[in-house]
């Protein structure tokens, strides 16, 4: 079968079998990759036009109880200055973001035990009161169903929790023994049941990842049908056990954006900071491959360096909330613009089959 036909089948049926996916992920035929990218871009534009949604990212704390082998803020990294923003600082970031035009805030941070759940709940309640027209997204790792329910009641709308890899053995290679893929998937199910718009995703090119793993990930995403799909290349962080491993690539990351866009036409797909870190053109290449969201950093500038998940993490220029003009100018060069709305998932447009 012609490889281009696979792209057409994916676009028409929103699914491929494992062998077909593996073929698309491994082909060296630039024409096929280019066609995949163009079809994904066309579908993204049918759904969302040439507007790119913004999310203001607030890095709440780099304190983390987990010890993920890839992550710069893992518990056993002694070279990190640990910080936690005060509630006042969080509100300050939101205030500044609101003035700049943001209508979605993402609170992301290391994972804490449930004992600090109320602290987060109070911040979410405050945000909900003060910015009733804004979407509140949390990205704070694994918690009990009760804690997720509490935060939802306080007004959180969305939750990001990447599954990182859907292969249990690969998951075990990237995470400490006390973590499991099963628990991660349980959390994702709870979040969905509780009515969050849910985001999941992976690191592309993480150590030990094979094409078969990527196929499993894509099939899982197609079947779980998250509202948002966050995919970024793995980038080594020098103080971690995986610090000497090769980085993921722009090509594989953008290829996955395109495949996911054709599988889930309405998905919200950020062109991630990790992709922008790998290459100066990464952000725009992601959008041209079918992404429709960017997440500029709204964290206090003096703390950003301490949220170093990986080496060289971009946090200035078009990555930063202050750099919105630069971002807008970059988007214009490829015929896109910022969409200033809350940017909710377009769930009515695409009926599951
Ligand atoms: N390279 C790329 N992405 C990373 N993350 C954590 N560490 C790294 C790294 N070294 C990603 C994980 C996590 C998200 C918040 O950041 O996928 O879910």
Q: Where are the beta strands (DSSP E) in the chain?
A: 51-54, 56-61, 104-109, 135-139, 158-160, 197-204, 228-233, 293-294, 337-339
Ligand 1 site, residue 235, Cβ cutoff 6 A: yes
Contact 196, 234 (CB under 8 A): no
Q: Which residues contact 52 (CB under 8 A, 6 or more apart)?
A: 287, 292, 293, 294, 331, 336, 337, 338, 339
116, 161, 184, 266 from 188: Cα distances, Å: 20, 7, 6, 19
Contact 30, 314 (CB under 8 A): no
pLDDT in tens, 280-289: 999 999 999 9
Q: Which atom of ligand 1 is nearest to the CA of 203?
A: 17
Nearest to 80 by CA among 95, 100, 107, 62: 62
Q: What is the pLDDT of residue 348?
A: 57
Contact 276, 301 (CB under 8 A): no
Tokens at residue 40, please?
A: 């994904």
First to last CA, the chain: 25
pLDDT in tens, 83-137: 999 999 999 999 999 999 999 999 999 999 998 999 999 999 999 999 999 999 9
Angle at 235 between CA 254 and CA 174, to 5 degrees: 105
Helix orientation angle between 250-263 and 18-26, rounded to the nearest 10 degrees: 140
Confidence of residue 351 (pLDDT cuts 50, 70, 90): very low
pLDDT in tens, 3-41: 999 999 999 999 999 999 999 999 999 999 999 999 999
Q: Which atom of ligand 1 is nearest to the CA of 233?
A: 2
Q: Mean pLDDT score of the chain, rounded to an integer?
A: 95
Ligand 1 site, residue 162, Cβ cutoff 6 A: yes
Ligand 1 site, residue 57, Cβ cutoff 6 A: no
**pLDDT value at 44 more than 90:** yes
All domains of the chain, ordered by start, with CATH? 2-341 (3.20.20.70)
Contact 55, 270 (CB under 8 A): yes
Average pLDDT over residues 254-272: 98
Ligand 1 site, residue 309, Cβ cutoff 6 A: yes
Choose which residue among 203, 252, 270, 314 to substitute to test ligand 1 binding: the one with the highest number of ligand atoms within 8 A of its C-beta: 203
Q: Give one DSSP letter per residue of 150-191, joined into a string.
A: HHHHTT--EEE---B-S-HHHHHHHS-TT--HHHHHHHHHHH
Average pLDDT over residues 179-204: 98
Ligand 1 site, residue 307, Cβ cutoff 6 A: no
Nearest to 345 by CA among 219, 212, 157: 157
Contact 143, 200 (CB under 8 A): no
pLDDT in tens, 298-340: 998 889 999 999 999 988 777 777 789 999 999 999 999 999 9
Q: pTM here?
A: 0.96
Confidence of residue 242 (pLDDT cuts 50, 70, 90): very high
Average pLDDT over residues 167-187: 98
Distance between Cα 71 and ligand 1 center (Å): 6
Distance between Cα 332 and ligand 1 center (Å): 29
Q: Kind and range of the H or E element at 33?
A: helix 30-48
**pLDDT value at 353 more than 60:** no
Q: Give the torsion through C-alpha atoms of 177, 183, 184, 187, to 10 deg.
A: -150
Half-sphere exposure (CA, 13 Å, Cβ side) for 44? 29
């Amino acid at each position: 079968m012609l490889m281009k036909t696979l792209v057409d089948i994916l676009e028409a049926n929103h699914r491929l079998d494992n062998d077909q996916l593996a073929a698309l992920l491994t082909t060296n035929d630039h024409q096929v990759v280019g066609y995949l990218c163009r079809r994904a871009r066309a579908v993204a534009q049918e759904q969302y036009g040439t507007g790119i949604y913004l999310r203001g990212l607030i890095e709440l704390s780099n304190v983390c109880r987990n010890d993920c082998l890839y992550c710069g803020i893992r518990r056993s990294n002694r070279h990190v200055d640990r910080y936690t923003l005060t509630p006042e600082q969080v509100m300050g970031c939101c205030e500044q973001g609101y003035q700049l035009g943001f209508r979605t805030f993402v609170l992301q941070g290391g994972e804490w035990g449930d004992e600090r759940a109320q602290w987060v709940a109070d911040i979410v309640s405050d945000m909900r009161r003060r910015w009733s027209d804004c979407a509140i997204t949390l990205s704070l790792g694994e918690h009990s169903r009760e804690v997720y329910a509490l935060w939802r009641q306080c007004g959180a709308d969305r939750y990001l929790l990447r599954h990182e890899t859907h292969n249990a053995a690969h998951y075990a290679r990237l995470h400490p023994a006390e973590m499991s893929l099963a628990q991660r998937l349980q959390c994702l199910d709870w979040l969905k049941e509780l009515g969050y718009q849910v985001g999941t995703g992976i690191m592309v090119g993480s150590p030990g990842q094979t094409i078969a793993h990527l196929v499993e990930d894509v099939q899982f995403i197609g079947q779980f049908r998250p509202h948002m799909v966050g995919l970024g290349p793995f980038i080594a962080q020098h103080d971690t056990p995986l610090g000497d491993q090769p980085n993921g690539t722009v090509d594989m990351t953008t290829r996955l954006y395109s495949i996911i866009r054709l599988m889930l036409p309405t998905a919200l797909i950020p062109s991630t900071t990790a992709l922008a870190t790998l290459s100066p053109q990464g952000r725009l290449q992601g959008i041209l491959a079918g992404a429709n969201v960017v997440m500029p950093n709204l964290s206090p500038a003096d703390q950003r360096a301490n949220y170093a998940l990986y080496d060289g993490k971009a946090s200035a220029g078009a990555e930063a909330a202050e750099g919105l003009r630069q971002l807008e100018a970059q988007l214009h060069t490829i015929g896109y613009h910022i969409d200033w709305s809350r940017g909710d998932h377009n769930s009515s447009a695409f009926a599951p089959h």
